[in-house]
Amino acid sequence: MSKFIELGLKEPITRALTDLGYETPTVIQEKAIPQILSSEEDLKAFAQTGTGKTAAFSLPIVELADYDNSQTQAIILSPTRELAVQIGKNIEDFSKYLPNLKVATVYGGANIEQQIRQLKKGAQIVVGTPGRTVDLIKRRALKLGNVKWLVLDEADEMLNMGFKDELDKVLEATPEEKQTLLFSATFPREVEAIANNYMHNPVEITSGQKNQGSDNVSHEYYLVTEKTRYPALKRIADINPDIYAIVFCRTRRETQEVADKLIQDGYNADALHGDLSQAQRDSVMEKFRKRNIQMLVATDVAARGLDVDSLTHVINHKLPDQIENYNHRSGRTGRAGNKGISIALVNRKERGKLNPIERILKKKFIQVSIPTGKEICEKQLFHLIDKVENSEVNTAEIDTYLPSIYEKLSTFSREELIQKFVSLEFNSFLSYYENAPDLNKITSRDRGERGDRERGGRNGRRMSSENMTRFFINLGRKDRLNPAKLMGLINEQGINKSVEIGAIDILDTFSFFEIDKNYESQTLDAFASNAPDFNGRNVNIEITKTERKGGGGRRRNSSRRRNDSGGNGSSGGFGRSRRSKPRSNNNNEGGRERRGFGRSRNNNRK
Ligand code: AMP
């Protein structure tokens, strides 16, 4: 029998919960549900994201709402569109056996007329972002005169985002005698003020100790310099081949830059921030949920509505400005009984910021050394061996080819064969990290020299200019080309998967890229025969014989030389992506485009 019945919920609801796999209530649900069901007192709940707070406030409302009355009885305010959509969806799931209960979700950035039509049909529960809710109240499309429940979810975040006026307006539109349920992970002065002004002797409940992080999360920090911050991030990804993480940045710009670099370096990453359109954000989140993206680089606000329980890591590329936000961030991992690791990349100056966070968490950060190249190679190698050990062989499919394959490989011993297969996958990794510096030893004094070396590409493997051919391509920034898109375009041409791509220079109307000299003609042929099209333009590439230093090599024309050496191109000097051929959609990793080593090909990216 579902334990939710004991909390006083009726059978159609507990049946829906069983369908969702909710068997045992979480702490906040155990405390909040009976309280709201049995009393009309206001409620102030300390609850972080991941504690099951959505069900804690929604289930009693779903239980008590009058299904025969189509007027709005509950208004739930949430800081972001994503979170609002998530809450609306949860309520639909909870009420799937209550056909007369309707929920409407309203948020900015979407067609308001459509939302008005939905409201007109009648919805007992409305979930909304503050701005759009006020808009709809003003247009008289949303009437809150009969509201019995007002929920302020993530109240601290709504105030952080500057929604104080909107909250006031919504509160004014609701009747005096209603039950206000305020959920917040932190209680700064502004949230207390809302509680004092609009709530009457609220009952307080907490999902654990106030502001304290989940017990399932361990907190680690890596000491970096500005030069090693990004290489350290890459190494953390490389030492965790199955990483599934959000990398938090403070600004949209930082977010985009880090994501671009990771993409260019061949990681399965993407950016999520407020400069993206709603459709782009939805698409990125969907890919992340499906694990087509392993590392989501995000701002705090954009990552709010993401409902993912199985993150292995949360990485603070930079610590948040407000220390309470560290808690929000780290609370994204260690959810639903899973273990998680929250990592902070800090320089010497920033290390001091960890002390107040430790006081809030009541936990100590553990310092972890940035993994060395050798450690990473060892980890990756055994990961590869594990994958070989556990891979399923589809004999029906390959049986016909096996005799000739055995025949071809018959001259090799077992050991030689193992060596060859392992080398095939592993050589580029080994050579990338061969001679890689120990990033822990890089101090701010010598960081320029050695930090740059890591940035320069796969050490040991990185080909010197004389081993690379430099290509001209007739696309530039004006065509919305960037390094990631260029790599995607190259990937799509089906050139040998292990080819090394060198520096990329994106200029206004054209660009340059380097490719391993041995693949020079293959690259030319591939582009010529595929005749690719990019944003409606036919793509042409040509070999340039120029020296990047500005030597007397042959150029297409002088203006190009000026631009090329003028420093206004975005030099793609960072590490190179290992490239692989497109996989078919029916690959046995459920559509994940992932090769070994936590890296992936970058094609199909737009
Ligand atoms: P929330 O804190 O509301 O964002 O919930 C965090 C995650 O826990 C969501 O994915 C919920 O679907 C899930 N969840 C909430 N309550 C339960 C429960 N009692 N049993 C299992 N999963 C739950």
Model pLDDT for residues 305-346, shown as the tens digit of each residue = 677 878 999 999 999 887 778 888 888 888 766 788 999 999
What residue owns the CA closest to ligand 1's atom 11? 52
Residue in 77, 103, 100, 83 with CA at minimum distance from that of residue 92: 103
Say which residues have a Cβ less than 8 Å from residue 606's Cβ, sequence separation at least 6.
485, 488
Q: What pLDDT is recorded for position 602?
A: 33
- Pocket test residue of 3, 7, 19, 26 for ligand 1, highest count of atoms within 8 A of CB: 26
Q: Would the pLDDT of 420 be above 90?
A: no
Q: What pLDDT is recorded for position 596?
A: 32
Q: What pLDDT is recorded for position 319?
A: 94
Q: Would the pLDDT of 566 be above 70?
A: no
CB 22 near ligand 1, within 6 Å: yes
Model pLDDT for residues 448-471, shown as the tens digit of each residue = 333 333 333 322 234 456 678 888
For residue 38, what is the enclosing H or E element?
A: helix 27-38
Model pLDDT for residues 280-308, shown as the tens digit of each residue = 888 899 999 999 999 999 998 777 767 78
**For residue 568, what are the CA distances in angstroms to 459, 483, 505, 517, 561?**
26, 14, 9, 26, 12
For residue 239, what is the enclosing H or E element?
A: helix 229-239
Q: How far is the CA of 511 from the centre of ligand 1 (A)?
A: 48
CB 32 near ligand 1, within 6 Å: no
CB 183 near ligand 1, within 6 Å: no
On whether the CB atoms of residues 551 and 477 are closer than 8 A, the answer is: no
- Pocket test residue of 27, 78, 307, 332 for ligand 1, highest count of atoms within 8 A of CB: 307
Q: How far is the CA of 50 from the centre of ligand 1 (A)?
A: 6
Q: Would the pLDDT of 155 be above 50?
A: yes
CA angle (61, 62, 66) in 5-degree steps = 85
Residue 367 DSSP label: E
Q: What pLDDT is recorded for position 544?
A: 78
CB 78 near ligand 1, within 6 Å: no
Model pLDDT for residues 261-277, shown as the tens digit of each residue = 999 888 899 999 888 88
Model pLDDT for residues 188-209, shown as the tens digit of each residue = 788 888 888 889 889 999 875 4
CB 91 near ligand 1, within 6 Å: no
What residue owns the CA closest to ligand 1's atom 18? 22
CB 26 near ligand 1, within 6 Å: yes
The pair of three-digit structure tokens given for residue 585, joined into one six-digit string: 């959609």
On whether the CB atoms of residues 231 and 455 are closer than 8 A, the answer is: yes
Which atom of ligand 1 has the smallest separation from the CA of 86?
4
CA–CA dist 353, 569 (Å, integer): 36
Q: What pLDDT is recorded for position 147?
A: 97
Report CA 283 to chain centroid distance, whole Å. 11
Which atom of ligand 1 has the smallest separation from the CA of 50?
2
The pair of three-digit structure tokens given for residue 598, joined into one six-digit string: 């936590």
CB 305 near ligand 1, within 6 Å: no
Q: Which residue has the tokens 């407000």?
A: 322
